[in-house]
Structures are given as C-alpha cells and as structure tokens.
C-alpha cells in the first residue's frame, strides 16, 4: 500500500491543538517531530530506556499525517488547511504550510521477514513458521515462531540470554511464569526443554494473540501454555490468577524500569529455590537493577551475564 505523507510546519505550542483538529476531521495516526526532551516520567510510561540527546528546542515542530494514496482525493487535506486557518485565531501556528511527499510502497508490517531466518541457540533450532524443517534439524528441538507484531523472534541478545539460562535451569516437570511473554517464545522454549506448564502475561493484546498462535504452531496444548493480559506488578486479580508459591522459574525479558518494581514482590509467586531469570537490562542500568534485587531479602543473585550492551541477571528465591 502506498501512503501520501503530509507535513505541517508549525510550533510546539500548536501541536496538541492541530493533532486534535486532525483527529476531529477523521485523520488518524499522526506523527510529531520536535526537539522537546522526554521527561523521565514520560520515558517510563513509553518503555523507553534511553533518552536521546536532542538539539536545542527552537519551538518549531512538524506534524505528519498519512492518507492511503488510493483514497486521497484532496478532501481531507483541504479540511486540514481550513482547520489550521481557524486555529490561527487562537494559537501561534508558525508557518502552517502543508507539504506532500510519498512513502515507499512497502509492506511495512511484513518487510522485516526477509531478514529473519532459521538460527540456532545451543542445540535448539528457531525457525520462522514460513521456513521448512530441513534434514539438519532432524533430531534437534525445533521451534516455529511467528511473532506477528509482538516482540520475540529469539534473535535479540536479551531473548537469547534468557534462552541460554532456560537451557541450564529448566528441569522436567517445571512450572514457568513468563512475564512479558511477547511472542511466547520463552514459554515455548521452556516447554521444549521439558517444563510441564507455562503461564505467560503481557500488557499488549497482540502478544496474547501471537503467543496463542505460536503455541498451536509448536503442538503445545492449552493445558500446557496459557496466556493472560494484564500487569502482575500492581493488579491483584492478575496476581491471583498467576497463583502463589507455585513456579519453579519466572522469566522476564523486560526493561529495567519494569524489572525493578517487579522484583519487589515476584518471590510471592515462586517456590523456595525457584529461579528468576531476567534480561532486557541495558548495561547502564545494571547496578540499579542489581541493587533493586538486593533490596528483596527473599532473593539472592546467582548469575550476571552480558551480551553486547545487554545484561541478564538470574536470581534465586532463598
Ligand atoms: C522485550 S519484550 C520480550 C518478549 C519475549 N518474552 C522475548 O523474550 O523475546 C517485553 C514484553 O514485555 C511486555 N511488558 C512490558 N511491561 C510489562 C508488564 N508490566 N507486565 C507484562 N508485560 C509487560 C511488553 O509488552 C513486551 O511484549
């Protein structure tokens, strides 16, 4: 699908009013470019770990919106021009010009698939669902994964580090809690390594769909792998549904800012001696996470591993 991109040159002051006016005339999915720094609070709610250094904020901004080229007969752009004219009476719009450009004709949702192919971690083969099982895979555990729009092809350093820990710590018959399951890859791996049951949680509805589909792809039954949408950190109902003192392994490949609050009460769901395998920690936040884990007297850190700029911390419930 080809999209026409329209860019409105304006001021940071006018961005909210313009966005809301575009929404009112039926334009969805706008994009704002400015040099306003994210606050620490905003970064947390957006699951952003790095706050990039921006040039100084000069008060200007660009609001981009997109219209399907097949449906773009000029009506919406005319309406947008009128809205901008009207808004000038209330706020400094700046230039207020609208320029048009075309985006590439790409299947943005599926384009990445050409770069992702079967790979191995230890003796485990991880293959996209659309690739065939080959002779060399025979006799090895093989995972078929399609993450859809969720995170979790297995090729990211953070996921790979958890998979290596699962290979090491999963025992036959284990029960796994997979917090932030994404595509469900870690649960599927743990089940392949002999776990009896896995429960995944995620905030993203697409992760729930992807996990269920990947479960089917790998011949895993609904009794073996369940997924629930919600936040185990602060939702009592989700905590109750996960259950208490019943997991042999909890894995969580999530950003440091989520792992820190998670580490406060996660032991409640773990059996004594169970492992808490975490990843998704950027090296600049390693000390912060380690200190957070140390504050929980129920946990002791047993391993810290690094892959590139990413860190895995594995702890154990005493
Ligand atoms: C980096 S992805 C990991 C996906 C997969 N587990 C893997 O290792 O490849 C992190 C996932 O955590 C989810 N997430 C973030 N905060 C969460 C929370 N508080 N509870 C559950 N899931 C959360 C995100 O939606 C995302 O799917």
Query: Tens digits of per-residue pLDDT, 164-202?
Result: 999 999 999 999 999 999 999 999 999 999 999 999 999
Percentage of residues in the chain having pLDDT higher than 70: 96
For residue 137, what pLDDT is reported? 93
- In the reported structure, the alpha carbon of residue 89 is separated from the centroid of ligand 1 by a whole-number distance in angstroms of 45
pLDDT of residue 214 exceeding 80: yes
Instruction: Kindly indicate the confidence band of residue 40, based on its pLDDT and cuts at 50, 70 and 90.
Output: confident
pLDDT of residue 149 exceeding 90: no
Q: Is 253 annotated as a binding residue?
A: yes
Cα distances from 278 to residues 177, 200, 307, in angstroms, run 12, 14, 13
- In the reported structure, the alpha carbon of residue 87 is separated from the centroid of ligand 1 by a whole-number distance in angstroms of 40
For residue 231, what pLDDT is reported? 97
3-state secondary structure the chain: CCEEEEEEEEEHHHHHHHHHHHHHCCCCCCEEEECCCCCHHHHHHCCCCCCCCCCCCCCEEEEEEEEECCCCCCHHHHHHHHHHHHHCCCCCCCCCCEEEEECCCCCCCCHHHHHCCCEEECCEEEEECCCCCCHHHCCCCEEEECCCCCCCCCCCHHHHHHHHHHHHHCCCCCEEEEECCCCCHHHHHHHHCCCCEEEEEECCHHHHHHHHHHHHHCCCCCCCEEEEECCCCCCHHHHHHHCCCCEEEEEEECCHHHHHHHHHHHHHHEEEEEEEEEEEEEHHHHHHHHHHHHHCCCEEEEEEEEECCEEEEEEEEC
Q: Which residue has the higher pLDDT, 2 or 30?
A: 30
Q: How far apart are CA 305 and CA 57, in angstroms?
A: 39
- In the reported structure, the alpha carbon of residue 151 is separated from the centroid of ligand 1 by a whole-number distance in angstroms of 8
Residue bearing the CA closest to ligand 1, atom 6: 181
Residue bearing the CA closest to ligand 1, atom 8: 159
For residue 48, what pLDDT is reported? 62
Q: Is 180 annotated as a binding residue?
A: yes
Mean pLDDT, the chain, whole residue set: 92
Residue ranges around ligand 1 (CB below 6 Å): 47, 150-152, 159, 162, 179-182, 185-186, 201-204, 207, 231-233, 253-254, 258, 280
ipTM of the complex: 0.99
pLDDT of residue 37 exceeding 90: no
């Amino acid at each position: 699908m080809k999209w026409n991109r329209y860019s409105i040159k304006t001021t940071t002051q006018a961005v909210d009013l313009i966005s809301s006016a575009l929404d009112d005339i039926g334009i969805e999915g706008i994009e704002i470019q400015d040099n306003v720094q994210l606050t620490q609070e905003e970064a947390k709610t957006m699951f952003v770990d790095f706050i990039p250094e921006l040039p100084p904020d000069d008060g200007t901004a660009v609001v981009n919106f997109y219209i399907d080229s097949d449906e773009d007969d000029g009506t919406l752009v005319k309406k947008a021009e009128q809205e901008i004219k009207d808004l000038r009476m209330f706020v400094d719009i700046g230039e207020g010009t609208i320029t048009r450009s075309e985006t590439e004709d790409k299947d943005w949702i599926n384009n990445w698939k050409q770069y992702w192919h079967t790979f191995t971690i230890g003796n485990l083969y991880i293959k996209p669902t659309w690739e065939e099982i080959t002779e060399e895979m025979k006799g090895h555990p093989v995972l078929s994964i399609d993450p859809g729009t969720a995170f979790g092809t297995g090729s990211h350093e953070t996921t790979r580090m958890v998979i290596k820990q699962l290979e090491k710590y999963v025992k036959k018959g284990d029960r796994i809690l997979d917090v932030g399951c994404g595509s469900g890859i870690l649960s599927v791996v743990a089940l392949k390594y002999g776990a009896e049951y896995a429960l995944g949680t995620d905030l993203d509805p697409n992760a729930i769909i992807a996990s269920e589909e990947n479960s089917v792809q790998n011949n895993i039954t609904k009794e073996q792998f369940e997924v629930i949408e919600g936040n185990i950190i602060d939702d009592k109902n989700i905590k109750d549904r996960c259950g208490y003192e019943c997991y042999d392994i909890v894995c969580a490949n999530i950003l440091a800012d989520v792992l820190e609050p998670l580490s406060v009460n996660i032991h409640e769901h773990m059996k004594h001696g169970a492992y808490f395998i975490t990843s998704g920690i950027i090296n600049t936040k390693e000390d912060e996470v380690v200190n957070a884990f140390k504050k929980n007297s129920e946990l002791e850190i047993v391993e810290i591993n690094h892959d590139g700029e990413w860190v895995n911390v594995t702890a154990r419930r005493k």
